[in-house]
């Protein structure tokens, strides 16, 4: 008997030792190997391959600091722990080159001043304490630093787009920013005015700078990778168009945001003769010279009348939704955008070695109205609203050596890596017309022209929409009857069967006894 007890104690001790050993080994392995089971279709809770690649390229320490106040509203209480988990993954995939620290500025006035210099300021939040609603000031910010470079994330309210916010800043502080030019002369848009919002978003990764092409010897600087020509006016000179052409011939990337007409103060359409139609046709893209109306898919326009403002449907605000974007990485992950007062376009180069891709189209109900009577031209079908052309292009000014400045030479053909993006509207980036998806499209375009499609894939992670299946009224009535009558009947039958079985078992046991 004693021997049996001893054997049992030894056996129990062995089991405990084995369990402890398994826990220790699992913890040791967990420090060196990381895994996550993400069952969502689009891997919403996993670090993307692009981020892993960028983190794996780090050869020095990047410091990430989170400035979070200790007292936060209930809906944000889990945010700091979620960020801690994400940054732990960043550290693992970077081979330890991401150092992370969470700090509560609290009463540290020196730290608050330093954060203010970086553009990080406390935000006002509402908390409920002792059944009272209170307004407090707190911090929900992060910074990414590498050497002397510091990039802030002024406000973090969720982790849905945090991967892009962090990875893009890590990329910016560890790489030289690409130069992006914005034609500032002979245009109706301004980086400090109606384009300020989109310009600030571009500056998070790139250096965007104005380019004046009004001089007789104007030239797009060679240090720029891309040039944005947005909303040129009637006064766009031949010299400016030549400078744009020669920048493209040198292998530059040019994005044309062109209006065929604009709406005046009294909502009267005014035609724009920017002179770039023939030039684009030389590159293989023809503007239709009208305005697209889409009665099937369009966004409302915000209209102001006196003291009142309201939304009214406007078929001249074509809304591009899933299924109307191309399969190119630049637009593949977008789910919508709106292009007010937009012109249509088509490819004209049939024998060209360049590649032409439609990025965005109207619905199959799209139609083009041509001025001055604005009558419908052609049939209703999907109209191309934005296109991308890549490859070698022929100069529009082959026979104009008189435009060449002293010391320069006329380039008649571009290199094979030149790129053109054409959108039939420049209005869609004005602050008052920034519909959902518009900024994302522009940022994707600038990224693609400068650093490729690396960051595009993490800017907007698509979520799968799974609406409930529509059923007939008869099926609805049947399910309603089942819920009201069927479930109680099932419970009664189940109870009766349970009662019967228990009585039967009791009778059997009594007979056995």
Least confident of 1-5, 44-48, 67-71, 446-450: 1-5
Does any domain span residue 464? no
Same domain, 241 and 371: yes
Q: Which of 8-12, 347-351, 495-499 is modeled with the greatest confidence? A: 495-499
pTM above 0.85, yes or no: no
Sequence-ordered list of residues with C-beta below 8 angstroms from that of 239, at least 6 positions apart, any chain: 213, 215, 216, 217, 218, 403
Does any domain span residue 42? no
Q: Which of 145, 168, 191 is the last residue of a domain?
A: 168
Same domain, 273 and 398: yes
Same domain, 315 and 352: yes
Alpha helices in 33-72 (DSSP H): 49-56
For residues 238 and 244, what is the distance between their CA atoms, to the nearest angstrom? 10
Q: Is the pLDDT of residue 202 over 90?
A: yes
Does any domain span residue 356? yes
Summarize the confidence of residues 179-192 as an average pLDDT.
Answer: 95
Summarize the confidence of residues 200-229 as an average pLDDT.
Answer: 94
The number of folded domains in the chain is 4
Does any domain span residue 396? yes
Same domain, 364 and 263: yes
CB 106 within 8 A of CB 72: no
Q: Is the pLDDT of residue 369 over 80?
A: yes
Does any domain span residue 44? no
Least confident of 168-177, 339-348, 469-478: 469-478
CB 135 within 8 A of CB 125: yes
Same domain, 113 and 184: no
Same domain, 144 and 65: yes
Helix axes 79-93, 162-174, angle to 10 degrees: 40
Q: Which of 432, 459, 486 is the last residue of a domain?
A: 459
Does any domain span residue 258? yes
Same domain, 143 and 12: no
Does any domain span residue 442? yes
Structural domain range at position 88 = 49-168
Read off the CATH number of the domain in which 156 is found. 3.40.30.10
Read off the CATH number of the domain in which 355 is found. 3.40.50
pLDDT at 31: 56
Token duo for residue 130: 């002792």
Does any domain span residue 41? no
Question: Considering only CA atoms, which of 254, 243, 225 is closest in space to residue 419?
Answer: 254
Same domain, 2 and 61: no
pLDDT-derived band at 465, boundaries 50, 70, 90: very low
Question: Considering only CA atoms, which of 431, 460, 299, 444 is closest in space to residue 386?
Answer: 444
- The pLDDT tens digits of the residues spanning 270-286 come to 889 999 999 999 999 99
Summarize the confidence of residues 291-317 as an average pLDDT.
Answer: 89
Same domain, 258 and 394: yes
Same domain, 333 and 423: yes
Q: Is the pLDDT of residue 462 over 70?
A: no
Same domain, 146 and 251: no
Q: Is the pLDDT of residue 30 over 70?
A: no
| Rg (the chain; Cα; Å) | 32
Least confident of 51-65, 66-80, 397-411: 66-80
Own/partner pairs for 504-511, CB < 8 Å, 24+ apart?
Answer: none
What is the pLDDT of the chain when averaged over all its residues? 87
Same domain, 308 and 365: yes
Alpha helices in 342-486 (DSSP H): 438-450, 456-459, 473-481
Summarize the confidence of residues 89-96 as an average pLDDT.
Answer: 94
186 Rama sector, left if φ>0, alpha if ψ -120 to 50, beta otherwise = left
pLDDT-derived band at 485, boundaries 50, 70, 90: confident
Print burial letters for 396-426: b (CB count within 10 Å at least 16), e (below 16).
bbeeeeebeeeeeebbeebeeebbbbbbbbb
């Amino acid at each position: 008997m004693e021997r049996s007890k001893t054997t049992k104690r030894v056996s129990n001790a062995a089991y405990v030792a084995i369990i402890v050993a398994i826990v220790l080994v699992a913890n040791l392995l967990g420090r060196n190997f990381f895994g996550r089971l993400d069952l969502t279709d689009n891997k919403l809770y996993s670090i993307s391959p692009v981020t892993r690649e960028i983190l794996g390229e780090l050869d020095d320490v990047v410091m990430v600091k989170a400035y979070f106040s200790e007292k936060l509203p209930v809906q944000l209480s889990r945010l700091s722990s979620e960020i801690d988990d994400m940054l732990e993954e960043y550290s693992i995939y970077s081979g330890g080159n991401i150092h992370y620290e969470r700090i509560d500025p609290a009463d540290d006035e020196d730290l608050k001043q330093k954060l203010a210099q970086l553009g990080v300021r406390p935000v006002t939040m509402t908390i409920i304490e002792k059944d009272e609603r209170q307004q407090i000031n707190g911090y929900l910010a992060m910074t990414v630093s590498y050497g002397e470079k510091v990039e802030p994330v002024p406000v973090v309210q969720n982790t849905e787009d945090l991967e892009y916010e962090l990875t893009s800043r890590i990329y910016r502080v560890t790489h030289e920013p690409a130069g992006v030019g914005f034609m500032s002369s002979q245009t109706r848009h301004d980086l400090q005015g109606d384009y300020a919002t989109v310009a600030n978003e571009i500056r998070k990764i790139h250096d965007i700078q104005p380019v004046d092409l009004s001089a007789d010897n104007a030239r797009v600087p060679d240090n720029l990778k891309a040039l944005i020509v947005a909303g040129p006016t009637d006064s766009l000179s031949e010299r400016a168009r030549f400078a744009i052409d020669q920048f493209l011939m040198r292998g530059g990337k040019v994005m044309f945001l062109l209006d065929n007409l604009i709406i005046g103060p009294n909502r009267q359409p005014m035609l724009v003769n920017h002179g770039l139609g023939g030039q684009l046709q030389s590159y293989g893209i023809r503007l239709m010279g009208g305005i697209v109306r889409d009665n099937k898919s369009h966004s409302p326009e915000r209209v102001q009348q006196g003291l009142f403002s309201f939304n009214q449907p406007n078929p001249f605000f074509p809304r591009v939704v899933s299924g109307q974007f191309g399969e190119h990485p630049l637009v593949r992950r977008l789910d919508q955008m709106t292009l007010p007062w937009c012109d249509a376009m088509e490819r004209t180069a049939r024998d060209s070695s360049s590649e032409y891709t439609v990025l965005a189209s109207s619905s199959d109900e799209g139609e083009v109205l041509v001025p001055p009577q604005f009558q419908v031209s052609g049939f209703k079908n999907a109209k191309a609203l934005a296109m991308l052309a890549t490859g070698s292009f022929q100069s529009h000014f082959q026979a104009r050596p008189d435009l060449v400045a002293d010391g320069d030479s006329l380039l008649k053909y571009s290199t094979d890596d030149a790129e053109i993006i054409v959108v039939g509207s420049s209005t869609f980036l004005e602050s008052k017309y920034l519909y959902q998806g518009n900024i994302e499209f522009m940022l994707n375009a600038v990224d693609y022209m400068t650093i490729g499609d690396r960051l595009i894939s993490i800017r907007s992670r698509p979520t799968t929409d799974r609406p409930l299946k529509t059923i007939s009224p008869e099926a609805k009535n049947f399910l309603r009857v089942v819920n009201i009558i069927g479930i109680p009947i099932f419970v009664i039958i189940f109870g009766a069967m349970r009662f019967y079985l228990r009585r039967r078992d009791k009778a059997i046991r009594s007979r056995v006894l």
